[in-house]
A and B are shown apart, each in its own frame.
Chain A
Amino acid sequence: MNEDIKHDLIQSLSKNLRVDLRKNEDLRSIEIETGCVATAEGSARVKFGDTEVIAGVKLAVEKPFPDTPEDAILMVASEMLPLSNPKYEGGPPGVDAIEMARVIDRSFRESRCIETKKLCIQKGEKVWSIAIDIAPLNDDGNLLDVGAFAALLALQNTVFPEYDGTKVLVDKKTTMKLPMVREPITVTVFKIGNAFVVDPTETEQTSFDARMTFAILADDKICSMQKGGDTAIMEEDLDIMLDIAIKTSQELRKKIPR
């Protein structure tokens, strides 16, 4: 990032002014569409401004891991597609994609939002496996939060296919939903200069100094965190960031279709 341009951007952000007329702690306009992929068990397409992400859930029956014989398997995968932003290149997932998948995976795993024990068919032999795929269609910043929100909505949208004891009949859907008990909302707060910003656009995001990602539950409990960026975060910064994140998570929670 060009240092002079970054300096002017910080000047503007410190006056709480953003190009799209938002305040530093405001989100962009949100569009949600669920159940948009017919071949997936659950899916959601989420748009924050120009950032657009599609998430899909596939269910299968697999042998559980030996250390957790009664628990369902959860897998989150994401890939940065060159079609979403020319800065990405094809090939195996890079650092960004792996971080995004792991942070989202952690938010679901640590919040225990899915009752994994209920997804056991036969102890030590057969459990349901949940595979979440996240694909950005357009990257205009803040992919992580949008991806996590899309993944959560896709999970809530998921219905089980029929299982006859030997194989999953993917074209026959039941009405049973995933046993979701909590709703972890992932919010990233970016520190740019002395300003704290949520939901940055691509240009704002390229000049951030530090970022902190929180996964927050309905009772404002934090279930996972992730720090990114090159500069340090002071103790008092962290308090401010947490307050912003909680406020934003409450706002985002209202957007979940009921």
Chain B
Amino acid sequence: MSEEQKKVVVPGEILAESMEVLPGFGTYRNEKKIIASRLGLLSQEGKVIKIIPLSGKYLPQRNDIVIGQVFDILISGWRLEINSPYSAMLSMKEASHDFINKGADLTRYYNLEDYVVAKIVNVTSQNLIDVSMRGPGLKKLKGGRIIKINPFKVPRIIGKKGSMVSMIKNATGCKIVVGQNGLVWIQGDPAMEIIAIQTITKIEQESHLNGLTEKIKTYLEQHGLTVVKEESHDEQHDDHSGHEHRQDDQYGEQHDEQKGEEYEEN
């Protein structure tokens, strides 16, 4: 990706007038024209024109790791609020490795208002979302703090191969889980939790600027924390659970592949 600044487009703006290019995410075709339907940064990949949105609600995608909150207990499972227009269904089969007896008290597994890290296993065309708790790093979250950030800034918080979030984790000693839906869970020493939250908010606000990693490093050092920058991932003390962290340093590139989930115990 070149150093040039990406153009900001607004809904209704004509992006191209040609049958040679194809409309991608956030755009639609009207006869020959390709028109923007969202506010965001314009990006072209080959023949496809797409928009990387600057803000908006989280739209669920398969294989995303999200943080959800139980808001309903049904006969056969739980319903989760995932900071999206649609709620997610956690069925009993997907909830645990244990066998759950018929008629068991489901609140013993996940009670109302509990936060969980879950993985989206299916999104239907009607936006019915199925999530699973069976997988590495998927668990119930106990205590800590939950903060909400713009879901489109999540890749910046995670950083290249999880570099940004590991930097915060190492510096503050907090456990951090970033959900693709814009919910972030932080647990640690209260004073450190606050520094971590401040740092994440700062990243969210300054995500469009160049040299963000350096800025955040300085910011953490200002708080008297030692920052070990992980350029290489040879010495991994984080369990990244074999997930590929594909994250480019240029904002928003490879939007469809931004799946840098973060979950582990420190």
Contact = CB atoms under 8 A, between A and B. Distances in A.
Contacts of A67: none
B143 A12 contact: no
Interface string A4-30: 110111011001011101000000000
A9 B191 contact: no
Contacts of B114: 2
Interface string B140-184: 001111110000000000000000000000000000000000000
A234 interface: no
Nearest to A18: B194
Interface string A135-146: 000000000000
The range of chain B's interface size is 10 to 19
Interface string A32-56: 0000000000000000000000000
Contacts of B197: 19
Contact of B194 (A2, A4, A11, A12): A12
A224 B28 CA distance: 59
Given A5-B143, A5-B144, A5-B145, A15 B190 contact: yes
A8 B194 contact: no
Nearest to A16: B190
Given A8-B144, A9-B145, A21-B198, A2 B190 contact: no
The range of chain A's interface size is 10 to 19
B113 interface: yes
A176 interface: no
Nearest to B113: A2
A1 interface: yes
A11 B190 contact: yes
A4 B142 contact: yes
A7 B143 contact: yes
A201 to B, nearest CB: 11
Given A11-B190, A12-B193, A12-B194, A19 B145 contact: yes
Contacts of A19: 145, 147, 194, 197
Interface of B: 69, 113-115, 142-147, 187, 190-191, 193-194, 197-198
13 contacts: A2-B69, A2-B114, A4-B142, A4-B144, A5-B115, A7-B143, A8-B145, A11-B190, A12-B193, A15-B190, A15-B191, A19-B147, A21-B198
Given A4-B142, A5-B143, A21-B198, 17 more contacts: A1-B113, A2-B69, A2-B114, A4-B144, A5-B115, A5-B144, A5-B145, A5-B146, A8-B144, A8-B187, A9-B145, A11-B190, A15-B190, A17-B194, A19-B145, A19-B197, A21-B194
The 4 tightest CB contacts between A and B, nearest first, are A12-B190, A4-B143, A8-B143, A2-B113
